Structure 1
Amino acid sequence: MIHQYIERRSNTIQTESLVFDRCILTLYSSIREKAPWLYTLLLSSRTSSFMGFLNYDARFMTVFQDTHRLMARLGIDPDEIYGDLHQYNTYRKAFERKICYWQCRPMSEEASCVVSPADARALPGSFKTGQPLFIKDKFFDYDELIGIDRPKWKKAFREGDFIICRLTPDKYHYNHVPVSGTVVDIYEINGRYHSCNPGAVVKSVTPYSKNRRIVTVIDTDVENGTGIGLVAMVEIVAMMIGRIVQCYSGIRYESPQTLQKGTQLIKGQPKSLFRPGSSTTVLIFQHNRIQFSQDLLANAERTNVQSRFTSGFQKPLVETEITVRQTIGEAI
């Protein structure tokens, strides 16, 4: 079955080319049923790192002399590249590229807006029962996602809203800050390396809350903040993603720093880097603090799009392709 989404700028239906689709679906069906020990092994940290090495390093050790040809093969616009184009002469370097986001990914100057953390395919949702966007125990388990041992944050975000931002392997893999505010907590939760292929997500049980992830809680009700309450930014690894590197920069990509409690964040600036592969970022907002953009809400409920989430979960769930720093909602 194909998987489709809506391209935001043109409002057209697009069909996703899923990497290793047949292999991944086999892993989540026959292998999981007939060889559970192998299924568990393939989702481990060691195996995921080894697969990432084979896919992004071992088979791509060749240095490309013609970087324009490499960019064309990967569907990357060379005019977006930050720095010397010729330094991106291997597949890994190309996937971990920096871009002139201040030029090619413009951002609204509206102080109350929330922006996309990544070039991704996004799906809004709600934890509150009775809401059209209510999605329970499909993509993740709420308590697991935030952390079983984090009662303060589980209480703060209960009945709130969220948006899932799924990055595909070809995307720019830096995460940017979606809001301005102060880091009040940051912690890592260990876990597996489930694929974020839509077919695998449907066949798994709440995979996003089973994977290794980093949770950053940002207080935006501060001076020069976005004024949207607490926001949890959950960065989730996936198959072949070995690490999430925290590298916040207040100016372009200069002087990257790791985050800690008290760090002041500026909306739209680079926060972290996913190593190559597919990965996911989930933004969680407190109850009744955000109004998602109307086009994202309308697209999510479209019935004329062949989404694997729609067929798998038996309700319209359609992603919209967005770019980093685009507006995805506003503070209420």
Structure 2
Amino acid sequence: MKKTLFKYFVELTGNPVASSLLKSVTTSRLSQPLIQPFSSTYRINEAEMEHPIHHYNSLQALFTRQLKEGSRQVDVASNTIVSPVDGVLSGVGKINADQAFLIKNHQYRLNDIMGTEKKAATYKDGYYYIFYLSPSHYHHFHYPIDGKIVGRYALGGVSYPVNNLGLRLGQSPFSTNHRLISEMSTAFGNVAIVKVGALNVNSIQLNSSSKECIKGQDFGYFSFGSTVILFIENHPNFTPTVSLDTEVRMGQTVGEWIQ
């Protein structure tokens, strides 16, 4: 019951009015008494947080917390791609020839997620990763590889949950949720980082407009709910190095180009 309540606070609900109320409470000092119970319920590692838990004056401040420097080790090898987030790998594999793939018993079109057939064509026959961030996870996202931004745009106006309930009840939630897409040019082709926002709130915050991407660099965070999808352009020597349902940390290798 307690976990269900807390999930509402950080992932919101299907009702815009309720979501607005929850957002107001979560971002105010009224939620401060919930901070320690939230941390205990989700077994958050307080030792790696940037500040002691009493420093945070709202549940939202805790949810968007930074980590102490050195808390995550980034694989700096030039031929690897790392997880952009802490999360659970809920989908991974080769993108089918018809540019559709299965996510939690729902089929999604690459065209819908990327917005246009032209954008999607870059990743035809490539690879995808889907990272789900639960309320317990660190909610900042980082660049998974060195490169340069060649496109950055927002899509979607309707939001559904990115958890299992939303996937059952929402109409293609990954393609209708508000999302920010960052496309990178790398030494191995293009990589798209799709940040999927939470319910009824455009909750994706970017830190910088710079086009330079440094592997492991923090470039934004989610203030409510979240899922991150990576699309990787087809390359004959690329292979994923992690299995479905694996718990991963930001900076951990999830794929490599064999040289």
Q: Same fold (TM over 0.5)?
A: yes
Partner of 2:78: 111
Higher fraction of strand: 2
Partner of 2:216: 268
Alignment CA distance shift 1:195-1:81 (3 Å): same
Q: Tell me the alpha carbon deviations over residues 274-311 of structure 1, each in whole angstroms, 9 at most, x when there is no partner.
A: 013x2111000112353101x41xxx3xxxxxxxxxxx
Query: Following TM superposition, by how much is the alpha carbon of 1:125 offset from its aligned partner in structure 2, in angstroms?
Result: 2.6
Partner of 1:143: 111
Percent identity of paired positions between Structure 1 and Structure 2: 22
**Which of 197, 203, 206 is matched with 1:246 structurally?**
206
Q: Distance in 1 between matches of 2:51 and 2:136?
A: 19
Cα root mean square deviation, aligned: 3.2
Q: Does 1:217 align with 2:186?
A: no
What does 1:115-194 align with in structure 2 at a 5 Å threshold? 115-122=82-89, 123-129=91-97, 135=102, 138=106, 140-148=108-116, 151=118, 153-194=119-160
Q: Distance in 1 between matches of 2:186 and 2:40?
A: 40
Query: Following TM superposition, by how much is the alpha carbon of 1:55 offset from its aligned partner in structure 2, in angstroms?
Result: 5.5
Q: Radius of gyration: which is bigger?
A: 1
Q: Distance in 2 between matches of 1:199 and 1:67?
A: 25
Number of equivalences = 249
TM-score (norm 2): 0.82
What one-letter code is carried by the residue in structure 2 that aligns with 1:180? D
Q: Which segments of 5 or more consecutive residues in structure 2 lack a partner in the other structure?
A: none
Q: Distance in 2 between matches of 1:20 and 1:90?
A: 16
Q: Distance in 2 between matches of 1:264 and 1:155?
A: 24
SS in 2 for 1:143: helix
What does 1:1-332 align with in structure 2 at a 5 Å threshold? 19=4, 42=15, 46-47=16-17, 49-54=19-24, 56-57=26-27, 61-63=30-32, 71-83=39-51, 85-100=53-68, 102-122=69-89, 123-129=91-97, 135=102, 138=106, 140-148=108-116, 151=118, 153-221=119-187, 228-239=188-199, 241-247=201-207, 257-259=208-210, 263-276=211-224, 278-288=225-235, 290-293=238-241, 295-296=242-243, 300=244, 319-332=245-258
Q: Distance in 2 between matches of 1:234 and 1:63?
A: 31
TM-score (norm 1): 0.66
Q: Distance in 2 between matches of 1:56 and 1:22?
A: 11
Alignment CA distance shift 1:234-1:79 (3 Å): same
Q: Distance in 1 between matches of 2:64 and 2:7?
A: 26
SS in 1 for 2:181: strand
Q: Which segments of 5 or more consecutive residues in structure 1 lack a partner in the other structure?
A: 1-16, 29-38, 222-227, 248-256, 301-318
Q: Distance in 2 between matches of 1:18 and 1:79?
A: 22
Contact in 1 for aligned 2:35/2:59 (Cα 8 Å) = no
Contact in 1 for aligned 2:158/2:200 (Cα 8 Å) = no
Alignment CA distance shift 1:50-1:20 (3 Å): same
Query: Following TM superposition, by how much is the alpha carbon of 1:268 offset from its aligned partner in structure 2, in angstroms?
Result: 0.7
Alignment CA distance shift 1:63-1:48 (3 Å): closer
Q: Distance in 2 between matches of 1:144 and 1:89?
A: 39
Contact in 1 for aligned 2:152/2:182 (Cα 8 Å) = yes
Alignment CA distance shift 1:96-1:210 (3 Å): same
Query: Following TM superposition, by how much is the alpha carbon of 1:68 offset from its aligned partner in structure 2, in angstroms?
Result: 6.5
Alignment CA distance shift 1:199-1:63 (3 Å): closer
Query: Following TM superposition, by how much is the alpha carbon of 1:326 offset from its aligned partner in structure 2, in angstroms?
Result: 1.0
